[in-house]
Amino acid sequence: MSESVDLGLPSLALVPKADAKQSAKEFKSDQEVRWCPGCGDYAILAAVQGFMPELGVKRENIVFVSGIGCSSRFPYYMNTYGMHSIHGRAPAIATGLSVSRPDLSVWVVTGDGDSLSIGGNHLIHALRRNVNLKILLFNNRIYGLTKGQYSPTSEPGKVTKSTPMGSVDTPFNPVSLALGAEATFVARTIDSDRKHLTAVLGAAAAHPGTALVEIYQNCNIFNDGAFDVLKDSDTSDDSLIRLRHGQPIRFGVDGAKGIASAADGSLQVVDVAEVGEDALLVHDSHAENPEIAFALSRLADTWTLANTPIGVFRDVTRPTYDALVADQLAQARAKQGPGDLADLIAGKDTWVVT
Partner 1 sequence: MGAGRIWSNEKVARVAKQVVQLDRVVIRFAGDSGDGMQLTGDRFMSETASFGNDLSTLPDFPAEIRAPAGTLAGVSAFQLHFADHDITTPGDVPSVLVAMNPAALKANVKDLPRGADIIVNTDEFTPRNLAKVGYGANPLEDGSLDAYALHPIALTSMTVEALKSFDISKKDAERAKNMFALGLLCWLYHRPIESTLEFLKAKFAKKPDIMQANVAAFQAGWSFGETTEDFSVSYEIRPAEQPPGTYRNITGNLAVAYGLIAAGQLSGLDVFLGSYPITPASDILHELSKHKRFGVRTVQAEDEIAGIGAALGASFGGALGITTTSGPGVALKSETIGLAVSMELPLLIVDIQRGGPSTGLPTKTEQSDLLQAMFGRNGEAPVPIVAPRSPADCFHAAIEAARIALKYRTPVFLLSDGYLANGSEPWLIPSVDELPDLHVAFATEPNHDGEYWPYLRDPETLARPWAIPGTPGLEHRIGGIEKADGTGAISYDAANHDLMVRTRQAKVDGIARDIEPLEVDDPSGQARVLVLGWGSTYGPVSAGCERVRRKGLDVAHAHLRHLNPFPANTGEVLARYDKVLVPEMNLGQLNLLLRAKYLVDTIGYNQVRGLPFKAQELAEVIEDVITS
Nearer to partner 1, 93 or 240 (CB): 93
Least distance to partner 1 from the beta carbon of 343, Å? 10
Stretch touching partner 1 by CB under 8 A, among 99-107, 176-184, 196-204, 298-306: 99-107
> Given the complex with partner 1, which of 117 and 163 has the nearer CB atom?
117
The answer to whether the beta carbons of residues 238 and 306 sit under 8 Å apart is yes
**Smaller CB separation from partner 1, 29 or 149:** 29
CA atoms within 13 A on the CB side of 188: 25
Dist. CA 244–CA 124, nearest whole Å: 26
| Residue 103 or 228 having the CB closest to partner 1 | 103
Position among 52, 92, 296, 312 found at the interface with partner 1 (CB under 8 A): 92
Among 96, 157, 166, 276, binds partner 1 (CB under 8 A): 96
Contact 39, 218 (CB under 8 A): yes
Distance between CA atoms of residues 100 and 131, nearest Å? 11
Contact status, residue 242 vs residue 311, Cβ threshold 8 Å: yes
How crowded is residue 87: how many other Cβ atoms within 10 Å of its Cβ? Answer: 17
* From 81, 148, 182, 261, residue interacting with partner 1 (rule: CB under 8 A): 81
- Alpha carbon distances (Å) from 276 to 250, 271, 272: 11, 8, 5
φ/ψ region of 236 (left if φ > 0, alpha if ψ in -120 to 50, else beta) reads alpha
CB of 170 to partner 1, least distance (A): 23
Comparing CB distances to partner 1, the nearer of 21 and 195 is 21
Of 4, 121, 162, 266, the one binding partner 1 by CB under 8 A: 121
Q: What residues contact residue 236 under an 8 Å CB cut-off, 6+ apart?
A: 229, 230
Q: According to the binding rule CB under 8 A, does residue 20 interact with partner 1? A: no
In the complex, the residues that contact partner 1 under the rule CB under 8 A are 1, 3, 16, 29, 31, 58-63, 65, 68, 75-76, 78-86, 89, 92-101, 103-104, 121-122, 125, 325, 328-329, 331-333, 335-339, 341-342, 344-347, 349-354
